[in-house]
Structure 1
C-alpha cells in the first residue's frame, strides 16, 4: 500500500482533489486468448452434445483477473496514459494542462489531478468503455477512510478497528498505553499451545491489514505474526495487549500535510540478535515525503549478523532499496529528486563502511549489501548523515518503547488523534 500513501502524500502537497471510480462486473470485460468451453447454463435449450465456447472471461476463471487488467491497460493507454515502470497499477497522463495520476486496484480506481476538466474527460472516456460507477470525491478506498482538510489528507481505519475489537469481544476491556510490554521477548516454547489457533491467526491477519495506517503497531504485529504455526497462551496474551492498545487509541490516524516539501528523507535502525531463538536481527526503517510518512518496515533479517554494525548495515541496505524505488516512482509522477535523499543512521561504524572504499576483512561476507549501498551513495541517490539514538525514528520499528518514548515517536511520525 506504499504506492497509495505516496500518491496521497503527493496530492496533499500539491493540494489536488481525489476522485474514485468503480467498474461494474469488471472481470466480464476481459477478452480470452485461450480456447475455453463450458456446459450451457441451466434453462437454455440445447443439444446434450453441445458446449459453449467462451469469448469473454467469467468470474471464477483463473484467467479473469489477468485479462481484465490487460483490457483496462489497453483502454487507458489508448487515451494517452502511460504505465509506470515502477508500479504497473499506476497510470500517468502528462500534457500542457497538467499531470493526471490514476491508480487501479482490481476494479476500484482513484484519480487525482490539478485540473478538474482533465478528470472529467477521463471519467467520460471510461464511461464510454465500461459500465462504471462514479463514486465522487474519495471517501473510502479498500476499507480505509480518506478525509480531506485544509491542512491535508487524513488516512484512518477507525471503523475497521472498531469491527475488529467487536469480533475479538474486547469492546469493554481496559486499555494500555503501548502495544507491547517493554523489553518483552517471545519464543515459540513459551506457554501452552492454544486449543483453537485459528482465532489467533484470524486476529493477527486482521492486524496486519491495520498496519496500513497504523505504523505504531507495526513492530508488535511483526512479533506476534512469527508464531502463526503454533501459537501459545503467552503469544495470545501479547496479541490481546495490541488489541487493548488499539481500543485506547482507536481515533489515531495518519496525516499527510499540505505544507510538505517534495523531498524524501529516511531513517534506518536494527535490533542486533534480538530474537532469542535464532539470534536473527530486526530491521526497521521509515521514509517520509516532506512531513508525511509514506513507507515503513519492521522485519527480521534472514541471516545471523556477527556484529551490531553488520545488522545496522543490512538495515541500511533495505532502506536504501526502498529509497531507490520511491525516487523512481516519484520521477514517474513528475517529482524529480535532484538532491540526495538523507538516510539517517545512528551507527558510526556502518556509515564509515559506506564512506570508505577500502576492503575490510571483517566485512567481506556482506559485500553485496556493502556494494549496493556504496553504489547509490557514490552516485548521489542517498547520503548517510549521523543522527543521535534519541532522535532515531526507526527505533519505533525494532523494539518496544516506554510510554513517554512511544508518544514522542508518534508525534514525529505524523500519527495523531482525529476528532
Structure 2
C-alpha cells in the first residue's frame, strides 16, 4: 500500500514560517505560519513517522525495538506485520481478516492506494514460484547497464579479475569522477539481492574519492558480469526450515595497500540467505587468529540482532544458533579454552571476547 501526500498529514509542533508562494496575494512584509508539514521540510519525515506510529499503535500494533519501522500485532488467529518505508508499506501475515481490518483502518485515517499483491517494492522485484519466492532487481540492473553504455559488451564470467590487485596509485586519474561514483553507488544498492557481487563492490567502493582508470575498468567488469547473470537473485523456498545459522570468515592481510583484513559473513534461515556482509576491518590485525576473532565478533553482533528481529516477527529461535568458523584458534578462544590476559591482549580483542561470550 502507498500513502498519498504522506508528509501533509502531520501537524507541526514547532513554529515554522515561510514566504508566501509566488502568485499569491498577501500583505507586505508578512510571512506564513505553517500548521502542517511540507515536502522538503526537515521536520516532515520525523513528524510523519510519529503520526503514523501513533495511529497504528491505537489498533494494537507494536513497533519493534530492533527495527522501529516494523510494526507487529498478534491476534488469536496469528500475526500481522507491517513494514514502513517513508510512505510505502508492506502488509503481510497469516490472519486475512486482521489484514483486511488494518487496510480499512488505514484508509479511514490516511488517503491510501492499494497496490495489490507484492510484485515490486523500492526497486526490488518479487516473483512467485511454485516452490517459493524470488527476490531480484532485474529491471534495476538493466537500467544500470544502459546507463553505463555496455549493453553491447561481452559478458564476464567473474565479477573481479583475480590477477588484478587494485591500489590507489595504479592507473591514470579520471578527469570526470561523477560517472564512477554513480555506477558504484548503484552497484551498492544492487547488492541488496546480489551477494555474489558484494566483495567486488566492496573493493571498488574504496576508491570513490579519487578513482583511476584501472578502478573504472574493474567497475565495468562487474557490470559485464551482471549482464551475464541478470536473472540472479535471492530464492526463498516455501519448504525451508526457519532455523537460523551463520558463517564467519576473514582473509589474510588481503588489502595490498594497508594490509588490513576483510571480514565476511552470511546468515541463512533454513536454506535461504537473509544477511551478508563484506567489510574491511578497522585496524590491522597481527595474526589470522586475531582477524578471524574480530570477524566472529562482528558476526555475533549481527546474529543477536537477527535473533531478536525474528522473535519480533513471530519466528523465535529455539536453543542456540550455530555459527561456523574455519579457524581453530579463534574457536578455542571463543570457548574460553585459551588463556587471555588483558596484559597480553589488546582492548579490542578483549571487547570482542565479551561480545562473543
Q: Is 1:105 aligned to 2:85, yes or no?
A: yes
Query: Is the Cα contact below 8 Å between 1:93 and 1:99 reproduced in 2?
Result: yes
Partner residue, 1:45 = 25
8 Å CA contact 1:204–1:239 kept in 2: the answer is yes
- Give the corresponding residue for 2:211: 231
Per-residue CA deviations over 1:269-291 (Å, capped at 9, x if unaligned) read: 00121111111100000001111
Aligned length: 354
Structure 1: unaligned runs, 5 residues or longer: 1-20, 375-419
C-alpha distance 362-174 of structure 1, shift in aligned 2 (>3 A) = farther
Distance 1:174 1:128 in 2: 54
Alignment of 1:108-123 (within 5 A): 108-123=88-103
Query: Offset of 1:218 from its aligned partner?
Result: 0.2
> Which of residues 337, 349, 358 in structure 1 aligns to 2:329?
349
Classify the secondary structure of the residue corresponding to 2:247: strand
Of 199, 209, 222, the match for 1:242: 222
- What is the aligned-residue RMSD (CA, Å)? 1.2
Q: Secondary structure at the match of 1:252?
A: coil
Following the alignment from structure 2 to structure 1, what is the Cα–Cα distance between the partners of residues 345 and 287? 10
Residue 371 of structure 1 corresponds to: 354
Number of the residue aligned with 2:48: 68
Normalising by structure 2, we get a TM-score of: 0.97
Q: Does 1:139 align with 2:137?
A: no
Deviation at 1:246, TM superposition (A): 0.6
Q: Does 1:217 align with 2:197?
A: yes
Structure 1 pair 180–333 and aligned structure 2 pair: CA distance change class (3 A): same
Equivalent-residue separation in structure 1 for 2:199 and 2:327 (angstroms): 21
Match of 1:308 among 288, 292, 307: 288
Distance 1:362 1:177, change over 3 A: farther
In 2, the alpha carbon distance for the partners of 1:258 and 1:321 equals: 28
Pick the structure with more helix per residue: 1
Q: Report what 1:17 is aligned to.
A: none
More off after superposition, 352-361 vs 59-68: 352-361
Quick one: distance in 1 between partners of 2:256 and 2:37? Answer: 51
Once residues 102 and 313 of structure 2 are traced to their aligned partners in structure 1, the CA distance between those partners, rounded to angstroms, is 17
Q: Is the 8 A contact 1:272 1:305 kept in 2?
A: no
Taking the TM superposition and a 5 Å limit, the aligned residue runs for 1:74-223 are: 74-223=54-203
CA displacement at 1:362 relative to structure 2: 4.9
Return the alpha-carbon distance in structure 2 between the equivalents of residues 303 and 369 of structure 1: 13
Work out the CA distance in 2 between the residues paired with 1:83 and 1:251.
35
Any idea what SS the aligned residue of 2:68 has?
A: coil
> Partners of 2:185 and 2:68 in 1: how far apart?
26
| Cα pair distance change 1:249/1:45, threshold 3 Å | same
> Where does the alignment leave 5 or more consecutive residues of structure 2 unmatched?
none
Q: Any idea what SS the aligned residue of 2:144 has?
A: helix
